[in-house]
């Protein structure tokens, strides 16, 4: 909502939660996957009983409606998951893999508004407070790295895509999702796609898609679920879970 205080503080107050702590995690479209990894490790360490992970963005506030190549892609949305310790060691968090690649910063960003380029009449007039994207560069990187990080995560856990019940990827665009799924050998009901209803809600896409998959009966207890995302930065992440409910 603002540079400070953190949105975590505002949400904590609105929830009326006491004796808790929290922080904002800024990793663009990969934020929710990163948050799941942090939550899983906090719970596994035994220092936290429950961790609430929230993914939320209002992209409508920062897209340039004169740029039809960008503004039509995004939407506003939010979702949350509660990560807690379970009694069955065979269920829950399996593993995660996260990476960053700052060479991608020029291809997807919002140039002005931070300490590098503070707000001014000039930055507003030049429309530098909106999302700027080089679509082809982002597309190529997203397809390649979302597949690679997912494959590496499966390999290091001795798993194959045949064992994955469903892939829930970041809903960047339909072509990126299907291209990634095809390379993993996953299609049909084994890939969750709902971008046609909500657009790209950035960090909100994966919790929204997960909720719909559960509502549709596409995830059941014991199923192996793969989350994958690529975001501005670039940020890259994949997370494996054995569904516990």
Contacts with 115 (C-beta within 8 Å, 6 or more apart), sequence order: none
- E strand or H helix at 120, and its extent? none
Catalytic residue among 41, 170, 187, 194: 170
φ, ψ of residue 151 to 5 degrees: the values are -65, -45
The tokens of 215 are what? 């509502």
Choosing from 29, 41, 71, 132, the catalytic residue is 29
Question: Is 132 exposed, middle or buried, given 0-12, 13-18 or 19+ CB atoms closer than 10 A?
Answer: middle
State the residue for tokens 């002005």.
Answer: 112
Q: Exactly one of 173, 174, 187, 200 is catalytic; which is it? A: 200
Q: Which residues contact 212 (CB under 8 A, 6 or more apart)?
A: 192, 194
Q: Strand 166-169 relative to strand 224-231: parallel, antiparallel, unpaired?
A: parallel
Q: Is 194 a catalytic residue?
A: no
Q: How far apart are CA 59 and CA 106, in angstroms?
A: 19
Is 200 one of the annotated active-site residues of the chain? Answer: yes
Neighbours of 66 (CB within 10 A): 9
Determine whether 9 is an active site residue.
no
Active site residues: 29, 170, 200
């Amino acid at each position: 909502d603002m540079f400070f205080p953190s949105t975590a503080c505002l949400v904590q107050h609105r929830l009326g939660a006491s004796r808790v702590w929290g922080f904002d995690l800024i990793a663009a479209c990969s934020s929710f996957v990163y948050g799941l990894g942090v939550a899983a490790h906090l719970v596994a360490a035994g220092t936290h009983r429950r961790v609430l992970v929230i993914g939320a963005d209002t992209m409508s506030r920062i897209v340039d409606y004169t740029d039809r190549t960008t503004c039509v892609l995004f939407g506003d949305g939010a979702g949350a998951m509660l990560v807690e310790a379970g009694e069955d060691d065979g269920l829950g968090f399996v593993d995660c893999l996260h990476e960053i690649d700052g060479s991608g910063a020029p291809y997807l960003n919002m140039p002005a508004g931070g300490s590098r380029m503070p707000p001014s009449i000039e930055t507003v007039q030049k429309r530098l407070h909106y999302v700027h994207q080089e679509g082809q560069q982002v597309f190529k990187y997203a397809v390649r790295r979302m597949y690679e990080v997912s494959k590496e995560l499966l390999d290091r856990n001795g798993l194959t895509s045949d064992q994955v019940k469903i892939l829930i990827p970041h809903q960047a665009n339909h072509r990126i999702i299907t291209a990634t799924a095809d390379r993993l050998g996953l299609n049909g009901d084994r890939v969750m796609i709902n971008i046609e209803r909500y657009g790209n809600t950035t960090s909100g896409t994966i919790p929204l898609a997960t909720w719909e998959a559960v509502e549709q009966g596409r995830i059941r207890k014991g199923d192996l679920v793969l989350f994958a995302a690529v975001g501005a930065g670039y940020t890259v992440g994949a997370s494996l879970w054995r569904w516990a409910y």
